[in-house]
Amino acid sequence: MPAQLEIRSEEIQEIMGSVPKWLTRWGSTIVFATLMLLLIGAFFFPYPDVVNARVRLELKRPPELLKTGQSGTLTHLAVRAGELVRAGQPLFTYQLPDGSTRSVNAPRKGRVQWLRPLAVGDVAPAQEALIALHDTTRQYVATAEVNGDDMGSIRPGMPVTLQLSAYPAQKYGSLQGEVYAVSPLPVEGNYQVSIKLPTDLRFQHGGTALREAVLSGTAQIITQQRRLLTQLFSKS
């Protein structure tokens, strides 16, 4: 019995120690083909050079706050929340303590946002903002702050990818723009890069439109599109 176990043990060791013929014949070919595929992929796969920067988005035309001149009692609310109004259109009327009335009209075309719930008979304090009048287009401007060491590679027309802190990229995606102008002088040690954004600014995922007047986030300015293979050799 021990002799049979020893024979079987030797057979198992021989099987485990032997290299399959197909692996001997094709192994080097498979390795070579894999390396060639990786090199070909690295040649065609783009790898952009980017400059990372902080970015701030603001409405090109901020909402205009419409206030009461003096303290008074509201006598007429002429518009609803979300209503589109024309320049000169009456918005609300209020009565002063002396019995005279005042009307507040829209200074320009826009969309109405009441800043708090109001009704006829409510008292509005002096200089209180009651309505925010939003521009209908909601065009945003973006400004990035770039370190002086990176300024030499940035030119107008370069594509920019923006990610906003209030809209996680995993859910909403990113926004696209391009470099519009580069400031020749630094501000507090950083250079200002103006980024041109499309009029209908929406995220890649779901097309969500922005609502806030001011937003912040990060920008990736793509300064050069290079092949991954070139990038690998330049770093080696």
**90-112 pLDDT, tens per residue?**
999 999 999 999 999 999 999 99
- CATH number 2.40.30.170 is the correct assignment for the domain at 50-60+138-226: yes
Amino acid at site 88:
G
At residue 17 the predicted structure's pLDDT band, cuts being 50, 70 and 90, is: low
Residue 112 is predicted with a pLDDT of: 95
pLDDT of 174 > 80? The answer is: yes
Among candidate residues 93, 128, 94, 89, the one with its CA nearest the CA of residue 112? 89
Residue 148 is predicted with a pLDDT of: 85
| Whole-prediction pTM | 0.62
pLDDT of 128 > 80? The answer is: yes
Average pLDDT taken over every residue of the chain? 82
CATH topology of domain 64-135: OB fold (Dihydrolipoamide Acetyltransferase, E2P) (2.40.50)
Q: Which residues have C-beta within 8 Å of that of residue 45, sequence separation ≥ 6?
A: 227, 228
At residue 156 the predicted structure's pLDDT band, cuts being 50, 70 and 90, is: very high
Backbone angles phi, psi at 90, to 5 degrees: -65, 140
pLDDT of 218 > 70? The answer is: yes
Q: Give the residue, 206 or 62, on which the prediction is more confident.
A: 62
Amino acid at site 87:
A
End-to-end Cα, the chain, rounded Å: 61
Residue 5 is predicted with a pLDDT of: 45
